[in-house]
A and B are shown apart, each in its own frame.
Chain A
């Protein structure tokens, strides 16, 4: 059953998903974006996940749980990375609605994103602005 977006209120949690960012997924991501930058490793020699792979993961739950309709446009994005993430780390991605307004034929929604590592520490925070047909 399609979501009635007009019923979503500021502060509503719209997604809370846990994913493991595997080596295979990181490699697929890097190939998709043709990233040529040097792979980074932590002090113990474990490969780190590129920050934007984490950001893409944080939006996966939003796309699926918010049942984003075709034609939705992503018009703005803010994000801050706080701690590096090892490849194969399990991450909890939480998204909440920060605003929900209709202007003309479009609905504008701002979604806040929080990504926590397995220790519960924040590794990324962000804000996405999307517009979808009203």
Chain B
């Protein structure tokens, strides 16, 4: 079980990073799952004539890896209390390998819970920042899984 225990968390601690390949097949599947068929994502000709010169992935598809990172670290506490604020800084392209990472920035403890704030970033294989942002979660110290 990869879940982060809050008693071991310190400011500056890294969350376990996630790496993914972005493919055109995945982008099409995300269009089906989300209902977002913007041609910038799925129409080859439209992508070629756009300012990007090719198709781009959905920002929310890439952002899903931030949620995965937080769910892996904090379990159902993320489902019940998670917050995220993101800026989509660069497009993600089919063929990109992205790495999503996070670091604990702030810890606010009470007797019953810990409120954890993390900085998060998604970077492409070229070092471009795709998404940057902040997440937070409140972990109940008494719950067996921190939820």
Question: DSSP majority for the A interface?
Answer: mixed
Classify the secondary structure of B's interface with A: helix
Other-chain residue from A37, A42, A77 in contact with B88 (beta carbon distance below 8 A): A77
Residue from B29, B33, B38 in contact with A56 in the complex, judged by beta carbons closer than 8 Å:
B33
Verify A77–B86 contact, CB threshold 8 A: yes
Chain B interface bracket (under 10, 10 to 19, 20 to 34, 35 or more): 35 or more
* Given A33-B64, A51-B79, residue A38 in contact with residue B72 (CB < 8 A): yes
**Contact of A63 with B71 in the complex, beta carbons under 8 Å:** no
Say if the beta carbon of A31 comes within 8 Å of chain B.
yes
- Flag whether B34 is at the interface (Cβ < 8 A): yes
Q: Are A37 and B83 in contact (CB under 8 A)?
A: no
Q: How far is the CA of A73 from the CA of B58 in the complex (A)?
A: 9
19 inter-chain pairs at a CB distance below 8 angstroms, sorted by A residue, are A25-B33, A28-B32, A28-B33, A31-B29, A32-B29, A37-B71, A38-B71, A50-B79, A51-B82, A52-B67, A56-B34, A56-B60, A59-B36, A74-B58, A80-B82, A81-B78, A81-B79, A83-B80, A84-B79
Chain B residues with Cβ below 8 Å from A38 are: 1-2, 71-72, 75
Chain A residues positioned under 8 Å from B79 (CB to CB)? 40, 48, 50-51, 81, 84-85
Q: Which stretch from A1-9, A64-72, A95-103, A114-122 is at the chain B interface?
A: A64-72
Complex Cα distance, B86 from A74, in Å, reads 11
Q: A68-B38, A78-B85 are in contact. Are A32 and B33 (CB under 8 A)?
A: yes
Say whether A34 contacts B20, CB under 8 Å. yes
